[in-house]
Amino acid sequence: MPITVGVGNIISEEGYLLLMSPAAAESVWKAILGHGAVPMGSNAWETLRILQGRPAPGKELTDEFNVLEANLWNAVSLNKGCYKGQETIARLVTYDGIKQRLWGIRVSSPVEPGSTISVNGKKVGKVTSFTTGKRASQPLGLGYIKRKAASEGDSVIIGDDVEGTVVEVPFLAHFGYVLRAPWSSSNCKVLNSTPQLSNGSAIPTSSKGQCCQNLLSLFGVAMAQHLKETSLFQLPNLETSASCIQEFQSKLNSLSLPSNLTSFCFDPIQFVNTPYICASIQTIQDWDKKLGNSTVLNSGCRSDLEDLTACDGCVAAGFRVQQQLIAIDGNASHSTDCFYFTILYAAGIVNEFGPESTGVMSCIFSIDLKKDSSSSKRHFALIFGLAGAGMAVLCMSLVLGLYIWWNKRWRKNDDVEMESTVSRRRMRPNTAVWFKFQELERATDNFSQKNFVGRGGFGVVYKGTLADGTNVAVKKIIESDFQGNDEFCNEVEIISNLKHRNLVSLRGCCVTDKNRIENGESERFLVYDYMPNGNLEDHLFAVNQGGILKQPLTWPQRKNIILDVAKGLAYLHYGVKPAIYHRDIKATNILLDEDMRARVADFGLVKQSREGQSHLTTRVAGTHGYLAPEYALYGQLTEKSDVYSFGVVVLEIMCGRKVLDFSSGSPRSFLITDWAWSKVKAGKMNEVLDAILVKTEDSVSANPRAIMVRFLLVGILCAHVMVALRPTILDALKMLEGDIEVPEIPDRPAPLGHPSFYNASGNTFSISPALSCLQMPAGDMLR
């Protein structure tokens, strides 16, 4: 079968031929290996060049070649530059290592998952799931059958006597909602105006990231419907995936969007069914075996999610279930896949309004929906109907309406004046304000999605504008340690008294009446100064989580941020009595003001006892990678626990590397503290510092290497696994400012990254005590 070299996905009976960009090659290669293919020999990246279908090392590639027969080899990698298209890499992976294929089986009566599938009296597979969905023309079983043991149209026996016919697994969903739903396609239309889009060159990075995220969410609606109808979380094969994406693109074409959007945003293999992600879950039956028939999703995501309170509860439930799945799977690199499965399950199985409902699309899939004008049309229709009833009725309605309008306006003005008076009365000496809920509603435009900033520690954050024009950040508390409003108010007492230029200032709080919502619980809000430049993580890496390309931080900016954080922590540890320990120092909890100066946020996790002593708790709150080992394992919280987290943040800033590197080939390089320490001990300092910092055009513009090395060494010292060897935050600050010398970096004990401490499954989370997830509740991982 001759194939012309180009960019795309081509499938043959003998194997996959994947042609893709270098950036996508490695991830797709790993995904294919996960499907069971075995690389040839010990070197999966052995370079071969192909001429007319035969391996011929050293030969140039012609325009066409044949897909080789199975079993000749398992993997072929073509060098860049050997053939047409300088940005193309081709990989051929045969079906040799893939022993089974997923088929649909049309049956006349229900079948049980686990039932055997037989052909001519020989068992060839098992049923994995069964559906009688409304879009299935008749009952459909799904099962894996040994490759070449059956083909489409063959007759099979399920169990003892149920007859069935082998069919391709259908995609039991549709994309009509893409045209019906009022989703915002503005980000994708921006791409349409880019002249180079059609040939794959320069694309606006920010628009591309936002557009692709919108499209992935839209595609997820159909995937949730497919899950509901087939019990499958993903699509059965690459052919079906490519076909579905093509149909999805046709709907986008109808909206006058670029005809190659999906080729930029999607890779068909990412939607293909595989047992090698997220706790080996493939079907709803697998989900039930792992988590049971009922989870917090069933109670948190069942209702109408257009209500913001219900939406917040559903989101919180989703994060809890995701953490349960990660704990079961044991591999944190699957966290994205587990969250994806959680979203599909909540939308397709749990919510009673279905994946295409407005609440599900806006809340679970985070699709930006434009306001529907239908209600306005109905309003005008009602007015014309009343007019037709007679002039007398109309006049009476106008008079009555005028009176009601005047009365409501008078009451509203009176309420505003009363609220202003109450606020002034409740103004505390330390300037913290007790806001009324109505004030926060007005400030955030009724907690509109357009004002949604993100999820912070123990809550969600909205941008708001107070009556005087001041921008604020309003955090709605979703989960916390507080057992009642008195304890919450006690917390506010502590935070509102903390005033330092390197801490995010608390402006006030709000506790609603218990009767405001159905569950009879008070809602709690904290109001902070708004930080216009977001958090440190948004600027620390070249591309942030939204796919937006960021200008890298300069050395002066990085230096100031590190010093600012150190000063903020020093104030919490030594500037107030009793001392306050943050417990969750990380890049996302460091906010940047208009001058790019750092302020520490979310320091409200601490509580104060009535005796006035700082509350030390065995309940761990924090984030993996940043947690000090003694705190993660034993709940032993001291000032040195914050110092460890601070050291990790310093390393992130100086190295330009995330705290956890899931792409690392070595367990010793997985955690940034292990990686940086080993490199420095080996004398490879330049390999540790961010390349942007050490790359200079001339000596005049060169950054001061000695100072950068000092900051790096302080970070390594602060993040030492042994508590006694860490400095206090005051000593660390003195080292950073050059007032005292940085001591020699001590050795680390063997358990960190030592091969003897790996578990049998090879889970890299066992290499460091700081990463042990067995010692803490899964819910704490959300913080």
* Token reading at 609: 């006892």
Q: Is 584 a catalytic residue?
A: yes
| Cα atoms found within 13 Å of the Cα of residue 197, Cβ hemisphere only | 21
Q: Which of 78, 41, 37 is nearest to 56 (CA)?
A: 78
* Tokens read off for 605: 């996790």
Burial string for 527-547 (b: 16+ CB within 10 Å, else e) reads bbbbbeeebbbbbbbeebeeb
Distance, in Å, from the CA atom of 551 to the CA atom of 531, rounded to the nearest integer, reads 18
Q: Whole-angstrom Cα distance, residue 459 to residue 480?
A: 9
What is the DSSP pairing of strand 89-94 with strand 459-465?
unpaired
Kindly report the length of the chain. Answer: 783
Task: Identify the burial level of 98 via C-beta atoms within 10 angstroms of its C-beta, where 0-12 means exposed, 13-18 middle and 19 or more buried.
Answer: middle
* Alpha helices in 571-704, H assignment, sequence order: 629-634, 639-655, 672-681, 685-688, 691-694
Neighbours of 246 (CB within 10 A): 11
CA-nearest of 558, 562, 560, 429 to 499 is 429
The residue written with tokens 């300092």 in the block is 685
User: Can you spell out the DSSP letters for 734-768?
Assistant: HHHTTSSPPPPPPP--TTTT-GGG--TT--GGGS-
What is the torsional sign of CA 436, 438, 441, 442? negative
Cα angle at 304 between 317 and 372, to 5 degrees? 125
Q: Which one from 286, 312, 538, 584 is the annotated catalytic residue?
A: 584
User: What single-letter amino acid sits at 246?
Assistant: Q
Question: Dihedral through CA 257, CA 259, CA 260, CA 261, nearest 10?
Answer: 20
C-alpha distances out from residue 680 to 249, 671, 735, Å: 50, 15, 18
Report the candidate in 473, 458, 460 with the shortest Cα–Cα distance to residue 530. Answer: 473
Task: Quote the CA–CA distance of 743 and 735 in Å, as a whole number.
Answer: 9
Q: Is 671 helix (H, G, I), strand (E, B) or coil?
A: strand
436 annotated binding-site participant: no
Cα 49 to Cα 2, 38, 58, 355, 376, distances in angstroms: 16, 19, 6, 47, 65
Distance, in Å, from the CA atom of 654 to the CA atom of 195, rounded to the nearest integer, reads 38
Whether the upstream peptide bond of residue 578 has omega within 30° of 0, thus cis, is yes
125: CB partners within 8 A, 6+ apart:
100, 103, 116, 117, 143, 144, 145, 146, 149
Show which residues are catalytic: 584
Residues that constitute the known binding site for ATP? 476
Residues that constitute the known binding site? 476
